[in-house]
Structure 1
Amino acid sequence: MATNAVRALWREPRAPQPPRRVWRDWLLVGLLLPTAILEGVLRADVVWRPVAIVLAVIVIVALLWRRTHPLTVVVIAFGVAILGSVVALVSDLPPVGLNTMVAIVLLPYSLTRWGSGREVGVGFVILLTALVTGTAADYTGISNAIFAGVFLLSPAAIGAAVRYWSATRSRELDRMRLQERAQLARELHDTVAHHVSAIAVRAQAGRVVAASHPEAALEALAVIEAEASRTLAEMRLMVGALRAEEVAALAPQQGVADLESLAGSVGDGPRVQVELAGDLTDLGSPVGAAIYRIAQESITNAARHARHATRIDVRVVGDEEWIRVTVDDDGDAGSAERNPTGYGLIGMTERATLLGGTFVAGPGVERGWTVEAVLPRTGVAR
């Protein structure tokens, strides 16, 4: 784990950057500034009081940039610490500084969490220099010196570990999104291939009967026009959906007509009830496949995670423009504490978004868990 975290630091030029300043940093600085000023004014043993207060204010304000410019803030904060230690060594005075400046222990974490590999290397030289000069200026024994080193560098190890975990998580999420897009593209490929084949057959038939039965040829042209329009509409859904080169699955797509097969008991688990209402005819094939997959995945999640659930209700309602899919269970309220960023939910969100719809999931109003997807009847690629 530690080795992988270190490699992650050097593999990425810079970790993905957070917003320039977040509210937690403003809150931290808002609490530390008055504390530092009060300490500088009220504490009796402060050396060079005005200088100590000014330096503390500079260091604390610099914390606002610890996420976006970690090395710069490390240079400022630990440069001040090194300068104070050198002055203490040369003048034989106690170290110049306030206890509030202990907040700079956040900076090793920021350095390894958001800095580039080169910034981490330079920053560590500065950290070790500050550690050595600080220990020399206020040496109280080997055990205290070791403790100071661990106290200063432990946040750096935590930052590297968090960075590695975040990068791994991000790669896994990207993989799941691409997998869902590839599945959608396969389904679209099969649908379009079917329509194009129908167009070709009708065109051939129309050419054969054109001379002897003109009305049959006109009928063939009408069918070709309808198939071509539908194919073009579904081809638009391919925009933005990436597909790796692979052989299309031979199994037929499952859609709204297959939802009834999900009804019944899930092993020894809760019973599944499926209700279909409204206009569910003439749906785009990708939309029908998405409805089935969202219902199937939601049922699987409920059967796996809903404690003491006896029933899972699937309701699909269609109107002139939209199809609404709702899946909820009657499990215990406590079982609703599921991972909102789970890969299954991410896949369903990606599928619904690609088709121009929405997807939400969360605890039910009274108990259990509720999943709701709203999809356009024909699908609109985004």
Structure 2
Amino acid sequence: MTNRSRSSSSSEGELRLPRPPGLLRRYWARHPLFADILVVVVCLLVSTIPVIATPILPEGIGTNSREWQSVLPALSVVVVLGCLALLIRRRHPLIVLAASCVVSLAYMFAPAPINGPLLLVATYTVAVHVGSRAALIGAGTVMTVLTGAGLVLIATDLSSTTVVWGSLVNEGLNAVIGGLIGANVGSRARYVKALIDHSQRLVVERDQQAQLAASTERERIARELHDIVAHSLTVMVALAEGVAASNDAERTRPGVEAIAATGREALKDMRATLGILRDADAAPLAPLARDTTTETVASARAAGFDTRLVVSGDPADLDSRTQLAVSRIVQESVTNVLRHASAATRIDVAIQHDPDGVSVTVTDDGLPTSASEHTAGFGLRGLRERVGLAGGSITAGPRRPHGWSVAARIPRQESTS
């Protein structure tokens, strides 16, 4: 396939934008009042010259000047007022169309067939500023009125057949020409306006989508940083307190080593998160999508808690999003026990793998505490957001007679590996 054929085929589905306006059209658009005044002047010249010149034409071309003397003043006033009405044609196009109809009726009282461009301009204006349908209805109404009035004038001998039919033919042509030109110009103007409105909506939607994407990314980063920093620092503080409470260097060595290991893991996770921020092509959460449940349980044991982990079912083919959610649920729940559970000594972690999903339960035996101490921070809120993104549900609350429980259910999804 040649480059020309490829370019032509690719442009078939694109919008065909109109050509940009030329110098004259841009000037008209910037100076509407001057344009209307110029139109009024042209219409006055074209309309009044026949009214003034016809009575003084030689015999056989014009008509008896005495016949003109009776209609010339009134006809001149009507024509001038009708042309001046063009000054309001943009705001009141239908009024201008009605005025042009009155002027056309006045032409029928003249002794000789004369006409002007007023109906052409009025029909054009209605088609541009109101619509093609309105111009069609308006022109049809005007021609119907003129035809009816002309028949009445012929029947009552107030006008001749030549004048009436000449006026009807000329005004009919004016209405058709003005309507066709106005429909073309109006359709183009409305098409350009629709394109501009569509472009503005696209810009607004693009900005909104960018804001939503940025907000979602901020929330995701906040969850990751909270999970990494809060858990690691909590474990390190608990281990440091245990080390500080003992004077035996040999007994505190495992605690010190656990503090160093926890710090190294936190540093590695922080580097992975920052790597995602720096690399725009990196898959979100890919470097952190690993099972840290065993590490979390080990850190709680090192901090002095009797922590038990029970995993049942087949964890094979667990997708990375669900695996990450399970790890974070266990991590955040254990962190809350270390931080908030007063006099807690035991933590039970149960993970049940079913064919249709994963159930996670984390309980402790701490003393009763108010729910606000657990839910006021960002941890549980971040868990709800994470579990919600995975399509699951989570509940957290006090146990009886004492302790706290976190239970989550996440449906199994197709593996992304």
Which TM-score applies when normalising by structure 1? 0.41
Q: Which has the higher contact order (CA 8 A, sep 6+)?
A: 1
Larger Rg: 2
Which TM-score applies when normalising by structure 2? 0.38
